[in-house]
């Protein structure tokens, strides 16, 4: 684990609002649920680093000569192969840059303000702060593919490619840059199947849990 990826060692005193770190698989609604939780709690929302808009912009402007852009282009097309030497090389070079360091600092800034972060290794970066609610959103693969296709307005084949690329890169980034397996449930206090619950109910559960944890830790 790099120095920039080291977790915080203790809770910041005086944080007046809850802090929630969400990890989500493809189609599980991380961005949607996260935004709804942030709105309900009145806290800042920090979206996933690789939003659709950012990936599309990198695809249009970056060019394959830039490792970051090359990696994001694979994400846009949904054809990232984790066993491909070129993809692994691009990922390794991307992770050696300040890109992740800057993102990590944005996540850590929420330790002061409270907020909701989706992706960005939030559950692992903030795992040593007992006041952070760490959440995993998941569901059966086929159902998530169908949900992703509906959310993104794409056909099933495209959604399947994007699911494979998203979930594989989620694991690769967590393992290579942060030294963790994001599928290990020990990283999370709350695990929700958004396919079964729906996004609204999942958001309600997280809001309730976040308030309860915040009140419990604030009273210590």
Q: Residue range 95-110: average pLDDT?
A: 76
Residue appearing with tokens 């929630």: 20
Q: How many domains does the chain have?
A: 1
Confidence of residue 131 (pLDDT cuts 50, 70, 90): very high
Interior angle at CA 21, CA 40 and CA 156, nearest 5: 85
Domain assignment present for 30: yes
Q: Express each pLDDT in 147-195 by its tens digit.
A: 999 988 888 988 888 888 778 878 877 887 788 999 999 999 999 999 9
Give a yes or no: residue 83 inside a domain.
no
Domain presence at residue 13: no
pLDDT band for position 86 (cuts 50, 70, 90): low
Residue whose C-alpha is closest to residue 15's, from 132, 100, 107, 113: 113
Identify whether the C-beta of residue 113 lies closer than 8 Å to the C-beta of residue 17: yes
Contacts of 35 (CB under 8 A, 6+ apart): 45, 47, 116
Segment (H or E) for 138:
strand 132-138
Portion of the chain with pLDDT greater than 90, in percent:
46
Domain range enclosing 23: 19-56+109-219
Query: Residue 81 domain-assigned?
Result: no
What pLDDT band is residue 44 in, cutting at 50, 70 and 90? very high
Question: Could you give the angle at the alpha carbon of 178 between the alpha carbons of 143 and 197, nearest 5°?
Answer: 25
Find the mean pLDDT for residues 31-51.
Answer: 89
pLDDT of 11-38, one tens digit each?
444 578 999 999 999 999 999 999 999 9
| Residue 103: inside a domain | no
8 A C-beta contact, residue 79 and residue 72 = no
Give me the chain's average pLDDT, please.
79
* Phi and psi, residue 182, nearest 5°: -70, -10
- For residues 124 and 184, is the Cβ–Cβ distance under 8 A? no
pLDDT at 4 over 50: no
103 vs 190, higher pLDDT: 190
Res 50: pLDDT: 62
Q: Is residue 41 part of a domain?
A: yes
Share of the chain above pLDDT 70, in %: 70
Residue 87 confidence (pLDDT): 55
What local confidence, expressed as pLDDT, does residue 19 receive? Answer: 95
Q: Express each pLDDT in 60-69 by its tens digit.
A: 454 444 555 5
Segment 117-139 shows an average pLDDT of 93
Q: What is the pLDDT of residue 90?
A: 58
* Residue at 87 is within a domain: no
Residue 79: partners with Cβ closer than 8 Å, 6 or more residues away? 161, 165
pLDDT > 50? residue 54:
no
**More confident site: 46 or 51:** 46
Residue 190 domain-assigned? Answer: yes
CATH number for the domain that contains residue 115: 3.40.50.300
- What does the pLDDT read at residue 136? 97
- Rounded to 5°, angle at Cα 195 from 19 and 48: 40
Q: Which residues contact 45 (CB under 8 A, 6 or more apart)?
A: 34, 35, 38, 39, 115, 116, 118
């Amino acid at each position: 684990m790099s120095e920039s990826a080291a977790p915080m060692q203790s809770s910041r005193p005086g944080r007046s609002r809850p802090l929630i770190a969400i990890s989500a698989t493809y189609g599980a609604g991380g961005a949607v649920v996260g935004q709804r939780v942030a709105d309900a709690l009145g806290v800042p929302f920090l979206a996933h680093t690789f939003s659709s808009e950012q990936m599309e912009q990198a695809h249009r402007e970056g060019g394959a000569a830039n490792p970051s852009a090359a990696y994001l282009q694979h994400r846009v097309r949904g054809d990232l192969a984790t066993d491909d030497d070129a993809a692994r090389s691009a990922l390794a070079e991307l992770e050696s840059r300040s890109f992740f360091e800057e993102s990590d600092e944005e996540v850590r800034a929420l330790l002061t303000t409270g907020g909701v972060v989706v992706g960005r290794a939030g559950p692992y970066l903030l795992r040593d702060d007992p006041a952070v609610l760490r959440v995993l959103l998941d569901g059966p693969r086929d159902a998530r593919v169908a949900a992703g296709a509906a959310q993104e307005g794409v056909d099933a084949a495209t959604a399947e490619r994007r699911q494979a690329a998203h979930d594989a890169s989620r694991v690769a980034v967590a393992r290579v840059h942060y030294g963790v397996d994001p599928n290990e449930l020990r990283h999370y206090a709350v695990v929700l199947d958004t396919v079964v619950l729906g996004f609204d109910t999942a958001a309600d559960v997280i809001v309730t849990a976040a308030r309860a944890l915040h009140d419990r830790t604030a009273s210590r």
